[in-house]
Amino acid sequence: MSSLPPCPVCDSVFTYEDGEQFVCPECGHEWKAETAAAADEKKIYRDSAGNELHDGDTVTVIKDLKLKGSGGTIKMGTKVKNIRLVDSDHDIDCKIDGFGAMSLKTEFVKKV
């Protein structure tokens, strides 16, 4: 078995090294070795107090958050159950009672 990572575009296992890059002969995609190493590391999400967050955790909002568009406000202390962590500009996808689907940043929540 090859110790080289598969192609991130087409998942081909026939990748090879060319200097400091990996190359996929099937789709022609090229990427740097550092990018492949960074992809293997899993991002750690932390709340405002530094506690590690996981999918399915329950958190509370630590300050009033004004909503864009609808003009509502999520009040401090609102409990958010069953969060889902995503790699996006906002780290948490969730549903909040009375507001529906939301995206929150980890810096505005605290793990319960």
Domain made up of 58-111: CATH architecture = Roll (2.30)
Domain 1-36 has CATH 3.40.50.2300: no
What pLDDT is attached to residue 1? 47
What pLDDT is attached to residue 41? 60
Model-wide pTM > 0.75: no
**In the beta sheet, which residues pair with residue 73?**
66
What pLDDT is attached to residue 42? 74
What pLDDT is attached to residue 2? 59
Q: Where are the domains of the chain?
A: 1-36, 58-111
Instruction: Write out pLDDT tens, residues 102-111.
Output: 999 999 999 9
What pLDDT is attached to residue 111? 96
Stretches in the chain below the pLDDT threshold 50? 1
